[in-house]
Protein backbone atom coordinates (compact mmCIF):
# COMPACT_ATOMS: atom_id res chain seq x y z
CA UNK A 1 0.00 0.00 0.00
CA UNK A 2 1.30 3.47 -0.84
CA UNK A 3 2.19 5.46 2.26
CA UNK A 4 0.11 8.34 1.00
CA UNK A 5 -3.14 6.39 0.73
CA UNK A 6 -5.92 7.70 2.97
CA UNK A 7 -8.40 5.54 4.89
CA UNK A 8 -12.06 5.24 4.03
CA UNK A 9 -13.86 7.91 6.09
CA UNK A 10 -17.12 7.90 4.18
CA UNK A 11 -19.21 6.97 7.24
CA UNK A 12 -17.92 9.78 9.49
CA UNK A 13 -20.16 12.77 10.14
CA UNK A 14 -19.70 15.80 7.86
CA UNK A 15 -18.62 18.03 10.75
CA UNK A 16 -16.26 15.41 12.21
CA UNK A 17 -13.56 16.99 14.40
CA UNK A 18 -9.91 16.14 13.73
CA UNK A 19 -7.46 17.11 16.41
CA UNK A 20 -4.22 16.47 18.25
CA UNK A 21 -3.64 15.98 21.98
CA UNK A 22 -0.85 16.81 24.41
CA UNK A 23 -0.51 17.27 28.16
CA UNK A 24 1.10 19.90 30.33
CA UNK A 25 3.88 17.94 32.04
CA UNK A 26 4.83 16.13 28.86
CA UNK A 27 5.49 19.25 26.77
CA UNK A 28 5.66 22.48 28.75
CA UNK A 29 9.03 22.42 30.54
CA UNK A 30 9.66 25.65 32.53
CA UNK A 31 8.91 23.70 35.67
CA UNK A 32 10.52 26.28 37.91
CA UNK A 33 9.49 29.38 36.08
CA UNK A 34 7.01 32.14 36.86
CA UNK A 35 5.95 30.74 40.21
CA UNK A 36 4.93 27.20 39.23
CA UNK A 37 4.90 24.83 42.20
CA UNK A 38 6.26 21.28 42.03
CA UNK A 39 4.05 18.41 40.92
CA UNK A 40 4.27 14.75 41.86
CA UNK A 41 5.94 14.09 38.52
CA UNK A 42 8.76 16.55 39.28
CA UNK A 43 9.36 14.53 42.42
CA UNK A 44 9.34 11.15 40.62
CA UNK A 45 11.86 12.58 38.15
CA UNK A 46 14.11 13.91 40.91
CA UNK A 47 14.10 10.48 42.48
CA UNK A 48 15.73 9.25 39.26
CA UNK A 49 12.89 6.86 38.48
CA UNK A 50 12.66 7.76 34.79
CA UNK A 51 14.59 6.16 31.94
CA UNK A 52 17.94 7.92 31.37
CA UNK A 53 17.14 10.04 34.44
CA UNK A 54 15.09 12.30 32.20
CA UNK A 55 13.02 15.07 33.76
CA UNK A 56 10.24 17.41 32.62
CA UNK A 57 12.36 20.50 33.26
CA UNK A 58 12.68 21.47 29.59
CA UNK A 59 10.50 18.90 27.78
CA UNK A 60 9.50 20.46 24.43
CA UNK A 61 9.83 23.96 25.89
CA UNK A 62 6.26 24.52 24.80
CA UNK A 63 5.90 27.12 27.56
CA UNK A 64 8.08 29.39 25.45
CA UNK A 65 7.38 27.96 22.00
CA UNK A 66 3.59 27.65 22.13
CA UNK A 67 3.20 30.09 19.23
CA UNK A 68 5.31 27.91 16.99
CA UNK A 69 3.33 24.85 18.14
CA UNK A 70 -0.01 26.48 17.38
CA UNK A 71 1.50 27.35 13.99
CA UNK A 72 2.18 23.64 13.44
CA UNK A 73 -1.45 22.85 14.26
CA UNK A 74 -2.59 25.50 11.82
CA UNK A 75 -0.48 23.89 9.11
CA UNK A 76 -1.98 20.51 10.01
CA UNK A 77 -5.45 21.97 9.65
CA UNK A 78 -6.86 20.49 12.87
CA UNK A 79 -10.19 21.80 14.11
CA UNK A 80 -9.34 21.19 17.76
CA UNK A 81 -6.45 20.92 20.20
CA UNK A 82 -6.63 19.04 23.47
CA UNK A 83 -4.19 20.22 26.14
CA UNK A 84 -4.13 20.12 29.91
CA UNK A 85 -3.56 22.76 32.54
CA UNK A 86 -0.76 22.13 35.00
CA UNK A 87 -2.60 22.52 38.29
CA UNK A 88 0.60 23.55 40.16
CA UNK A 89 1.28 26.25 37.57
CA UNK A 90 -1.98 28.03 38.38
CA UNK A 91 -2.18 27.04 42.07
CA UNK A 92 1.38 26.37 43.23
CA UNK A 93 0.21 24.85 46.51
CA UNK A 94 -2.80 23.16 44.94
CA UNK A 95 -5.24 25.48 46.70
CA UNK A 96 -5.18 28.99 48.13
CA UNK A 97 -3.54 31.80 46.16
CA UNK A 98 -3.61 31.63 42.39
CA UNK A 99 -0.49 32.31 40.36
CA UNK A 100 -1.29 35.09 37.91
CA UNK A 101 1.74 34.36 35.72
CA UNK A 102 0.64 30.74 35.30
CA UNK A 103 -2.91 31.73 34.40
CA UNK A 104 -1.58 34.26 31.87
CA UNK A 105 0.34 31.55 30.05
CA UNK A 106 -2.90 29.67 29.37
CA UNK A 107 -4.59 32.96 28.38
CA UNK A 108 -1.94 33.44 25.73
CA UNK A 109 -2.24 29.84 24.54
CA UNK A 110 -6.05 29.94 24.33
CA UNK A 111 -6.01 33.29 22.52
CA UNK A 112 -3.42 32.03 20.05
CA UNK A 113 -5.56 28.94 19.34
CA UNK A 114 -8.73 30.95 18.85
CA UNK A 115 -6.93 33.35 16.53
CA UNK A 116 -5.82 30.32 14.49
CA UNK A 117 -9.40 29.01 14.32
CA UNK A 118 -8.61 26.00 16.52
CA UNK A 119 -11.04 25.03 19.29
CA UNK A 120 -9.34 24.56 22.68
CA UNK A 121 -10.27 21.36 24.54
CA UNK A 122 -9.12 21.84 28.11
CA UNK A 123 -8.37 18.86 30.32
CA UNK A 124 -8.17 19.73 34.01
CA UNK A 125 -6.02 16.84 35.15
CA UNK A 126 -3.38 14.91 33.26
CA UNK A 127 -1.60 13.45 36.29
CA UNK A 128 0.53 16.40 37.49
CA UNK A 129 -0.95 16.72 40.98
CA UNK A 130 0.57 19.56 43.03
CA UNK A 131 3.13 17.98 45.37
CA UNK A 132 1.75 20.08 48.25
CA UNK A 133 -1.54 18.18 47.94
CA UNK A 134 0.22 14.83 47.68
CA UNK A 135 1.77 15.67 51.03
CA UNK A 136 -1.74 16.11 52.43
CA UNK A 137 -2.73 12.65 51.27
CA UNK A 138 -3.42 13.43 47.60
CA UNK A 139 -6.29 11.42 46.14
CA UNK A 140 -6.40 9.23 49.24
CA UNK A 141 -7.85 12.20 51.11
CA UNK A 142 -11.56 12.78 50.56
CA UNK A 143 -10.80 16.49 50.89
CA UNK A 144 -9.35 16.17 47.36
CA UNK A 145 -12.90 16.58 46.06
CA UNK A 146 -12.96 20.09 47.49
CA UNK A 147 -9.44 20.92 46.23
CA UNK A 148 -10.36 19.80 42.74
CA UNK A 149 -13.67 21.67 42.74
CA UNK A 150 -11.94 24.89 43.84
CA UNK A 151 -9.25 24.49 41.18
CA UNK A 152 -11.99 23.86 38.59
CA UNK A 153 -13.79 27.03 39.73
CA UNK A 154 -10.62 29.05 39.17
CA UNK A 155 -10.12 27.62 35.68
CA UNK A 156 -13.80 28.05 34.77
CA UNK A 157 -13.87 31.68 35.90
CA UNK A 158 -10.70 32.52 34.02
CA UNK A 159 -11.18 30.67 30.73
CA UNK A 160 -14.90 29.89 30.53
CA UNK A 161 -15.52 32.94 28.34
CA UNK A 162 -13.34 31.40 25.61
CA UNK A 163 -13.15 27.68 26.35
CA UNK A 164 -16.30 25.53 26.19
CA UNK A 165 -14.93 22.00 25.95
CA UNK A 166 -13.80 20.62 29.28
CA UNK A 167 -12.57 17.21 30.36
CA UNK A 168 -12.32 16.55 34.08
CA UNK A 169 -9.67 13.78 34.12
CA UNK A 170 -7.39 12.02 31.70
CA UNK A 171 -7.35 8.26 32.23
CA UNK A 172 -8.21 8.01 35.93
CA UNK A 173 -7.68 4.25 35.78
CA UNK A 174 -4.11 4.74 34.64
CA UNK A 175 -2.81 6.91 37.44
CA UNK A 176 -4.62 4.83 40.04
CA UNK A 177 -3.68 1.39 38.66
CA UNK A 178 -0.08 2.05 37.76
CA UNK A 179 0.86 4.13 40.73
CA UNK A 180 -0.70 1.71 43.10
CA UNK A 181 -1.85 -1.76 42.14
CA UNK A 182 1.33 -2.65 40.28
CA UNK A 183 3.36 -1.04 43.02
CA UNK A 184 5.37 1.06 40.59
CA UNK A 185 5.53 3.90 43.04
CA UNK A 186 3.69 4.94 46.16
CA UNK A 187 2.44 1.43 46.63
CA UNK A 188 -0.60 1.72 48.83
CA UNK A 189 -2.75 -0.85 50.51
CA UNK A 190 -5.72 -2.34 48.77
CA UNK A 191 -7.95 -0.26 51.01
CA UNK A 192 -6.23 2.96 50.01
CA UNK A 193 -6.49 2.00 46.37
CA UNK A 194 -10.28 1.68 46.57
CA UNK A 195 -10.55 4.85 48.60
CA UNK A 196 -8.62 6.64 45.87
CA UNK A 197 -10.88 5.36 43.10
CA UNK A 198 -13.91 6.65 44.93
CA UNK A 199 -12.37 10.04 45.72
CA UNK A 200 -11.37 10.61 42.08
CA UNK A 201 -14.90 9.75 41.00
CA UNK A 202 -16.30 12.21 43.56
CA UNK A 203 -13.89 14.89 42.35
CA UNK A 204 -15.08 14.32 38.78
CA UNK A 205 -18.72 14.82 39.79
CA UNK A 206 -17.92 17.94 41.78
CA UNK A 207 -15.99 19.44 38.86
CA UNK A 208 -18.86 18.78 36.45
CA UNK A 209 -21.21 20.69 38.75
CA UNK A 210 -18.80 23.63 38.99
CA UNK A 211 -18.37 23.79 35.21
CA UNK A 212 -22.14 23.66 34.59
CA UNK A 213 -22.71 26.44 37.10
CA UNK A 214 -19.92 28.72 35.89
CA UNK A 215 -19.53 28.20 32.14
CA UNK A 216 -22.46 29.00 29.89
CA UNK A 217 -22.64 26.46 27.08
CA UNK A 218 -20.01 24.13 28.58
CA UNK A 219 -19.61 20.76 26.85
CA UNK A 220 -18.20 18.35 29.41
CA UNK A 221 -16.79 14.84 29.54
CA UNK A 222 -14.15 12.67 31.15
CA UNK A 223 -11.40 10.84 29.23
CA UNK A 224 -11.13 7.09 29.78
CA UNK A 225 -8.70 4.64 28.25
CA UNK A 226 -10.47 1.44 27.43
CA UNK A 227 -8.13 -1.30 26.36
CA UNK A 228 -9.62 -4.80 26.28
CA UNK A 229 -7.85 -7.01 28.84
CA UNK A 230 -7.30 -10.47 27.41
CA UNK A 231 -5.77 -13.54 29.05
CA UNK A 232 -2.24 -14.29 27.86
CA UNK A 233 -2.83 -18.07 27.97
CA UNK A 234 -5.72 -20.51 28.03
CA UNK A 235 -5.32 -21.15 31.77
CA UNK A 236 -8.28 -20.45 34.02
CA UNK A 237 -6.10 -18.39 36.37
CA UNK A 238 -5.10 -16.04 33.55
CA UNK A 239 -8.72 -15.74 32.41
CA UNK A 240 -9.74 -14.72 35.92
CA UNK A 241 -6.86 -12.24 36.23
CA UNK A 242 -7.78 -10.68 32.89
CA UNK A 243 -11.45 -10.41 33.84
CA UNK A 244 -10.52 -8.77 37.13
CA UNK A 245 -8.17 -6.27 35.53
CA UNK A 246 -10.79 -5.54 32.88
CA UNK A 247 -13.18 -4.35 35.58
CA UNK A 248 -10.64 -2.03 37.22
CA UNK A 249 -9.02 -0.71 34.06
CA UNK A 250 -12.11 -0.26 31.93
CA UNK A 251 -15.14 0.19 34.18
CA UNK A 252 -14.14 1.46 37.66
CA UNK A 253 -14.51 5.09 36.55
CA UNK A 254 -16.94 5.28 33.62
CA UNK A 255 -19.54 2.97 35.21
CA UNK A 256 -20.18 5.13 38.29
CA UNK A 257 -19.76 8.36 36.27
CA UNK A 258 -22.09 7.42 33.42
CA UNK A 259 -24.32 4.66 34.86
CA UNK A 260 -24.41 5.58 38.55
CA UNK A 261 -23.06 2.24 39.82
CA UNK A 262 -19.77 0.47 40.43
CA UNK A 263 -19.21 -2.86 38.69
CA UNK A 264 -20.69 -5.52 40.98
CA UNK A 265 -17.36 -7.27 41.65
CA UNK A 266 -15.82 -4.18 43.25
CA UNK A 267 -18.79 -2.88 45.24
CA UNK A 268 -17.90 -4.48 48.56
CA UNK A 269 -14.36 -3.05 48.36
CA UNK A 270 -15.72 0.48 47.75
CA UNK A 271 -18.48 0.19 50.35
CA UNK A 272 -16.39 1.36 53.38
CA UNK A 273 -15.79 4.73 51.65
CA UNK A 274 -19.32 5.25 50.36
CA UNK A 275 -21.38 7.95 52.03
CA UNK A 276 -25.09 8.50 51.44
CA UNK A 277 -25.67 10.35 48.16
CA UNK A 278 -22.20 9.65 46.75
CA UNK A 279 -23.33 7.84 43.60
CA UNK A 280 -25.62 10.74 42.73
CA UNK A 281 -22.70 13.13 43.31
CA UNK A 282 -20.55 11.14 40.90
CA UNK A 283 -23.10 10.47 38.16
CA UNK A 284 -23.72 13.94 36.70
CA UNK A 285 -25.05 14.42 33.18
CA UNK A 286 -22.24 14.48 30.62
CA UNK A 287 -22.16 15.68 27.02
CA UNK A 288 -19.71 13.15 25.64
CA UNK A 289 -17.41 10.25 26.38
CA UNK A 290 -13.68 10.83 25.83
CA UNK A 291 -12.06 7.61 24.66
CA UNK A 292 -8.33 6.93 24.56
CA UNK A 293 -7.40 3.66 22.92
CA UNK A 294 -4.12 2.06 21.81
CA UNK A 295 -4.31 -1.72 21.94
CA UNK A 296 -5.55 -4.69 23.93
CA UNK A 297 -3.47 -5.78 26.90
CA UNK A 298 -2.55 -9.39 27.61
CA UNK A 299 -2.76 -10.42 31.22
CA UNK A 300 -1.44 -13.22 33.37
CA UNK A 301 -2.19 -14.20 36.90
CA UNK A 302 0.18 -13.03 39.64
CA UNK A 303 -1.37 -14.00 42.94
CA UNK A 304 1.09 -11.99 45.06
CA UNK A 305 0.14 -8.66 43.45
CA UNK A 306 -2.62 -6.48 44.83
CA UNK A 307 -5.20 -7.19 42.14
CA UNK A 308 -3.76 -10.58 41.19
CA UNK A 309 -2.46 -9.71 37.76
CA UNK A 310 0.61 -8.81 35.73
CA UNK A 311 1.27 -8.34 32.04
CA UNK A 312 1.90 -11.53 30.08
CA UNK A 313 3.03 -12.62 26.63
CA UNK A 314 1.30 -11.20 23.58
CA UNK A 315 -0.04 -13.80 21.18
CA UNK A 316 2.39 -14.89 18.50
CA UNK A 317 1.82 -13.33 15.11
CA UNK A 318 0.12 -10.13 16.29
CA UNK A 319 1.90 -7.18 14.67
CA UNK A 320 3.56 -4.85 17.18
CA UNK A 321 4.64 -1.21 17.16
CA UNK A 322 8.35 -0.58 17.83
CA UNK A 323 7.51 -0.22 21.54
CA UNK A 324 5.74 -3.58 21.31
CA UNK A 325 2.16 -2.47 21.61
CA UNK A 326 -0.13 -4.78 19.59
CA UNK A 327 -1.59 -3.30 16.41
CA UNK A 328 -5.17 -4.56 16.43
CA UNK A 329 -7.57 -2.17 14.71
CA UNK A 330 -10.45 -4.61 15.17
CA UNK A 331 -10.09 -4.19 18.93
CA UNK A 332 -10.53 -0.45 18.40
CA UNK A 333 -13.75 -1.00 16.44
CA UNK A 334 -15.04 -3.35 19.15
CA UNK A 335 -14.12 -0.88 21.89
CA UNK A 336 -16.00 1.92 20.13
CA UNK A 337 -19.03 -0.37 19.82
CA UNK A 338 -18.79 -1.35 23.48
CA UNK A 339 -18.59 2.27 24.67
CA UNK A 340 -21.53 3.21 22.48
CA UNK A 341 -23.66 0.33 23.77
CA UNK A 342 -22.68 0.63 27.43
CA UNK A 343 -22.71 4.42 27.90
CA UNK A 344 -24.84 5.79 25.06
CA UNK A 345 -22.94 9.09 24.83
CA UNK A 346 -21.43 10.71 21.74
CA UNK A 347 -17.80 9.59 21.58
CA UNK A 348 -14.69 11.64 20.90
CA UNK A 349 -11.53 9.60 20.46
CA UNK A 350 -9.13 11.86 22.35
CA UNK A 351 -5.97 9.74 22.02
CA UNK A 352 -4.71 7.13 19.59
CA UNK A 353 -1.17 6.89 18.33
CA UNK A 354 2.03 5.00 17.68
CA UNK A 355 5.17 4.94 19.83
CA UNK A 356 8.53 4.45 18.15
CA UNK A 357 12.17 5.50 18.04
CA UNK A 358 12.52 7.15 14.63
CA UNK A 359 15.33 9.58 13.80
CA UNK A 360 15.92 11.95 10.88
CA UNK A 361 17.51 10.35 7.82
CA UNK A 362 20.57 11.73 6.04
CA UNK A 363 18.49 14.41 4.34
CA UNK A 364 17.02 15.50 7.67
CA UNK A 365 13.59 14.06 6.87
CA UNK A 366 11.74 11.90 9.38
CA UNK A 367 9.95 9.10 7.56
CA UNK A 368 7.53 7.24 9.82
CA UNK A 369 5.61 4.95 7.50
CA UNK A 370 4.79 2.56 10.36
CA UNK A 371 2.84 5.33 12.12
CA UNK A 372 0.95 6.17 8.92
CA UNK A 373 0.02 2.51 8.39
CA UNK A 374 -1.23 2.19 11.94
CA UNK A 375 -3.24 5.42 11.91
CA UNK A 376 -4.76 4.48 8.56
CA UNK A 377 -5.87 1.09 9.89
CA UNK A 378 -7.28 2.53 13.13
CA UNK A 379 -9.12 5.38 11.42
CA UNK A 380 -10.53 2.80 8.97
CA UNK A 381 -11.73 0.74 11.95
CA UNK A 382 -13.36 3.84 13.43
CA UNK A 383 -15.13 4.41 10.13
CA UNK A 384 -16.46 0.83 10.28
CA UNK A 385 -17.70 1.46 13.82
CA UNK A 386 -19.47 4.61 12.60
CA UNK A 387 -21.00 2.62 9.73
CA UNK A 388 -22.40 0.18 12.32
CA UNK A 389 -24.16 3.03 14.13
CA UNK A 390 -21.57 4.22 16.67
CA UNK A 391 -21.91 7.97 17.31
CA UNK A 392 -18.25 8.97 17.05
CA UNK A 393 -17.72 12.68 16.48
CA UNK A 394 -14.00 13.33 16.63
CA UNK A 395 -10.53 11.80 16.57
CA UNK A 396 -7.37 13.28 18.10
CA UNK A 397 -3.89 11.89 17.44
CA UNK A 398 -1.55 11.44 20.38
CA UNK A 399 0.51 13.51 19.87
CA UNK A 400 1.33 16.78 18.14
CA UNK A 401 4.96 16.51 19.26
CA UNK A 402 7.38 13.91 20.51
CA UNK A 403 7.38 14.48 24.26
CA UNK A 404 8.11 13.21 27.76
CA UNK A 405 6.62 9.72 27.70
CA UNK A 406 6.35 9.20 31.48
CA UNK A 407 8.56 6.36 32.72
CA UNK A 408 10.20 6.07 29.27
CA UNK A 409 11.29 9.72 29.35
CA UNK A 410 12.26 11.03 25.91
CA UNK A 411 13.27 7.63 24.55
CA UNK A 412 9.85 6.89 23.04
CA UNK A 413 8.40 9.14 20.34
CA UNK A 414 4.65 9.48 19.72
CA UNK A 415 4.67 12.76 17.76
CA UNK A 416 3.51 13.71 14.29
CA UNK A 417 6.35 16.19 14.74
CA UNK A 418 9.88 15.13 15.62
CA UNK A 419 11.53 17.11 18.41
CA UNK A 420 15.32 17.37 18.44
CA UNK A 421 15.76 17.70 22.20
CA UNK A 422 19.23 19.25 21.90
CA UNK A 423 18.09 22.20 19.78
CA UNK A 424 14.33 21.90 20.45
CA UNK A 425 13.85 22.18 16.71
CA UNK A 426 10.56 20.73 15.42
CA UNK A 427 10.56 18.64 12.23
CA UNK A 428 7.17 17.53 10.87
CA UNK A 429 7.33 13.80 10.09
CA UNK A 430 5.81 12.19 7.02
CA UNK A 431 2.78 11.24 9.17
CA UNK A 432 2.23 14.98 9.79
CA UNK A 433 1.81 15.58 6.06
CA UNK A 434 -0.37 12.49 5.71
CA UNK A 435 -2.68 13.62 8.54
CA UNK A 436 -2.90 17.11 7.02
CA UNK A 437 -3.93 15.51 3.70
CA UNK A 438 -6.57 13.42 5.46
CA UNK A 439 -8.03 16.47 7.20
CA UNK A 440 -8.09 18.43 3.95
CA UNK A 441 -9.82 15.53 2.19
CA UNK A 442 -12.37 15.30 5.01
CA UNK A 443 -13.10 19.07 5.11
CA UNK A 444 -12.46 20.28 1.56
C1 LIG B 1 -1.71 7.66 27.48
C2 LIG B 1 -1.48 8.98 28.18
C3 LIG B 1 -0.66 9.96 27.40
C4 LIG B 1 0.46 9.30 26.64
C5 LIG B 1 -0.05 8.10 25.86
C6 LIG B 1 1.02 7.40 25.05
O7 LIG B 1 -1.99 6.67 28.42
O8 LIG B 1 -2.70 9.60 28.50
O9 LIG B 1 -0.20 10.94 28.28
O10 LIG B 1 1.51 9.00 27.47
O11 LIG B 1 -0.64 7.18 26.73
pLDDT tens readout for residues 61-98: 999 999 999 999 999 999 999 999 999 999 999 999 99
92, 154 Cβ separation under 8 angstroms? no
Q: What is the CA radius of gyration of the chain?
A: 21
Report the nearest-CA residue for atom 9 of ligand 1.
23
Per-residue pLDDT of 345-360, as tens digits, reads: 999 999 999 999 999 9
pLDDT of residue 322: 98
- The per-residue pLDDT for 187 is 54
Mean pLDDT within 319-336: 98
Q: What does DSSP say about strands 425-428 and 417-420: parallel, antiparallel, or unpaired?
A: antiparallel
The residue to mutate among 28, 351, 352, 409, having the most atoms of ligand 1 within 8 angstroms of its beta carbon, is 351
Q: How far apart are CA 408 and CA 400, in angstroms?
A: 18
Catalytically active residues are 171, 351
Q: Residue 170: CB within 6 Å of ligand 1?
A: yes
Report the pLDDT averaged over residues 145-165. Answer: 98
pLDDT at 444: 86
Atom index in ligand 1 nearest the CA of residue 223 equals 8
Pairing mode, strands 309-311 and 119-125: unpaired
Whose Cα sits closest to atom 4 in ligand 1? 405
> What are the distances in angstroms from CA 415 to CA 11, 31, 97, 169, 399?
27, 21, 35, 22, 5
Residue 399: is it exposed, middle or buried by C-beta count within 10 angstroms (0-12/13-18/19+)? Answer: buried
pLDDT at 102: 98
Give residue-wise pLDDT tens across range 254-277. Answer: 999 999 999 999 999 999 999 999
Ligand 1 close to Cβ of residue 405 (< 6 A): yes
Burial of 138 (0-12, 13-18, 19+ CB in 10 A): buried
Please tell me the predicted confidence (pLDDT) of residue 359: 98
Report the chain's mean pLDDT, rounded to a whole number.
Answer: 96
pTM: 0.97
> What are the angstrom distances between the C-alpha of 54 and each of 226, 263, 341, 354?
28, 38, 41, 21
Is residue 185 scored above 70 in pLDDT?
Answer: no
Would the CB of 225 count as within 6 Å of ligand 1?
Answer: yes
Class at the top of the CATH hierarchy for domain 17-442: alpha beta
Is the pLDDT confidence value at 336 over 90?
yes
* 414 in contact with ligand 1, CB cutoff 6 A: yes
| Averaged pLDDT, 2-12 | 89
Mean pLDDT of 324-342: 98
pLDDT recorded at residue 305: 82
- Percent residues over pLDDT 70 in the chain: 97
Q: Residue 120 forms beta bridges with which residues?
A: 81
Query: What is the average pLDDT across 156-177?
Result: 96
State the pLDDT at residue 184. 54
Where does the pLDDT of residue 2 fall: very low under 50, low under 70, confident under 90, or very high at 90 and above? low
Q: Inform me whether the pLDDT recorded for 1 exceeds 60.
A: no
Amino acid sequence: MSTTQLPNIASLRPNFIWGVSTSSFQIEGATQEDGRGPSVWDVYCQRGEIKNHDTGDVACDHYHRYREDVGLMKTLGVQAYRFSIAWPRVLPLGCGSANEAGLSFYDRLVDELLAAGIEPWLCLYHWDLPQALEERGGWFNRESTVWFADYTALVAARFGDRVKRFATFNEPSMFSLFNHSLGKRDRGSEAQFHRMIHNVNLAHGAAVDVLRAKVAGASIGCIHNLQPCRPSSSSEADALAAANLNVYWNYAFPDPQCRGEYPSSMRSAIEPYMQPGDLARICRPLDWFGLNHYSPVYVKSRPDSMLGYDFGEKPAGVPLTPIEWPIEPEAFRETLQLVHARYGLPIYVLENGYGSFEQPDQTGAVIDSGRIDMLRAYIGAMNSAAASGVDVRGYFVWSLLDNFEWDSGYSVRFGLTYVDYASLRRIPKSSFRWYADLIRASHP
